[in-house]
C-alpha cells in the first residue's frame, strides 16, 4: 500500500518512467485504452480518484486542488508526462497547472489535456458549422470548449449541454440498462431543441463512450458523434514525434499499472469493463 506523502518535495525521480493518465474515476480508462492501442510499446500508470469522484459538479477550486495533487503524485511515481484523461480537470485545472505550477514543480515535465486535441478535429468534421458539446456541468459552465473552438474555428457556433446524470449512470453500471434511456434521450432532445442545425456532437466527457449505444440510438440521423479517445491518442503520438526528448524519458515495457483512491477490488471489477480485459489495482492516498 502506498502511503500519503507527508512532506511536499519538488524532487521527482529523474530516470525514465511511465506515461501518467489521470481521471476522477473510470472515464480516463477510455482514453488510456485508445492511447495504449496506438502506442503499446510504452508503460502507463493510471490513477483514478474514485474516492472523490465525480468531479463534474465540483467548484473550480476543488477540481484544481484535487487535480494538482494527482499530478504531483504521478510525478513522484516517476512520470515525466501526465495526460489529464478528464474533460472536467482539463477544463478547470490544466491551464493553471501548466502556467503556474509546472514552472515551480519541474519545468521539464509536461501535463496535457483532452480538450485541445478534440477541438482541433471538429473544424474538419462539421459542415453546418453548428456543433454540440455534451459534458459534465463543470465542463459546460467553464465554457472552455467554446473558448478553444472560437480560437481555432471562429465560424463555428457551439451549444453546450450539461448531462449531470450520465456519469453516475456509468459509475453505477447502469449504462446498458433501460433507466439510462430516459436521461440520454432527455439531454439529446434538449440539445437539438436549442440548436436544430447541429451536425456534430462532441462527447466531452471520458465516461460517455460507455453510453455510445444509447447515444447513437437517440441522436438524429446523420449527426457525427465525436469520441475523443482516438484524437487524443493521435495527438499524443504526434506530440511524442515532435518531442523526442520527452519520448526518451518514457519507459518501454508495454505495462499498464492501475492506482485508485478507493477500494482496489471494486476498481478492478469495474475498470475491467472499460478496458475490456482483467486487471489488478492498488489503493493510494492523495493530498
Instruction: Name the residues annotated as catalytic.
Output: 86, 205
CB of 182 to ligand DGL, least distance (A): 19
Shortest Cβ 47–ligand DGL spacing (Å): 13
Phi, psi of 282 (to 5 degrees): -125, 140
Adjacent-strand bridge partners of 131: 158, 200
Least separation in angstroms between residue 217's CB and ligand DGL is 22
Binding site residues, ligand DGL, CB under 6 A:
23-25, 27, 53-56, 86-88, 136, 139, 167, 205-207
CA–CA dist 259, 174 (Å, integer): 23
Helices first, then strands: H and E counts in the chain: 14, 10
Shortest Cβ distance from residue 29 to ligand DGL (Å)? Answer: 10
Residue 231: Cβ-neighbour burial (10 angstroms; 0-12, 13-18, 19+): buried
Output helix, strand, coil percentages for the chain, rounded to the nearest 5. Answer: 50, 15, 35
Nearer to ligand DGL, 34 or 139 (CB): 139
The separation between the first and the last C-alpha atoms of the chain, rounded to the nearest angstrom, is 15
Amino acid at each position: 500500500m502506498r502511503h500519503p506523502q507527508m512532506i511536499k518535495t519538488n524532487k521527482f525521480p529523474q530516470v525514465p518512467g511511465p506515461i501518467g493518465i489521470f481521471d476522477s474515476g473510470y472515464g480516463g480508462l477510455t482514453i488510456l485504452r485508445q492511447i495504449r492501442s496506438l502506442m503499446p510499446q510504452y508503460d502507463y500508470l493510471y490513477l483514478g480518484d474514485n474516492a472523490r469522484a465525480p468531479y463534474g459538479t465540483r467548484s473550480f477550486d476543488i477540481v484544481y486542488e484535487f487535480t494538482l495533487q494527482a499530478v504531483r503524485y504521478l510525478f513522484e511515481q516517476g512520470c515525466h508526462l501526465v495526460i489529464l484523461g478528464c474533460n472536467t480537470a482539463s477544463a478547470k485545472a490544466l491551464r493553471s497547472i501548466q502556467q503556474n505550477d509546472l514552472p515551480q514543480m519541474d519545468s521539464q515535465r509536461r501535463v496535457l489535456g483532452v480538450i485541445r486535441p478534440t477541438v482541433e478535429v471538429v473544424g474538419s468534421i462539421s459542415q453546418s458549422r453548428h456543433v454540440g458539446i455534451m459534458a459534465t456541468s463543470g465542463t459546460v459552465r467553464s465554457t472552455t470548449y467554446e473558448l478553444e473552438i472560437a480560437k481555432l474555428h471562429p465560424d463555428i457556433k457551439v451549444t453546450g449541454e450539461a448531462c449531470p446524470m450520465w456519469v453516475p449512470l456509468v459509475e453505477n453500471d447502469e449504462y446498458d440498462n433501460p433507466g439510462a434511456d430516459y436521461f440520454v434521450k432527455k439531454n439529446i432532445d434538449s440539445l437539438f431543441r436549442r440548436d436544430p442545425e447541429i451536425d456534430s456532437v462532441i462527447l466531452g466527457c471520458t465516461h460517455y463512450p460507455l453510453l455510445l449505444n444509447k447515444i447513437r440510438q437517440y441522436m438524429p440521423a446523420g449527426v457525427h458523434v465525436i469520441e475523443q479517445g482516438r484524437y487524443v491518442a493521435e495527438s499524443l503520438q504526434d506530440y511524442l514525434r515532435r518531442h523526442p526528448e520527452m519520448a526518451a524519458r518514457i519507459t518501454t515495457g508495454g505495462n499498464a499499472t492501475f492506482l485508485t483512491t478507493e477500494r482496489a477490488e471494486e476498481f478492478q471489477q469495474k475498470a475491467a469493463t472499460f478496458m475490456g480485459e482483467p486487471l489488478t489495482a492498488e489503493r493510494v492516498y492523495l493530498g
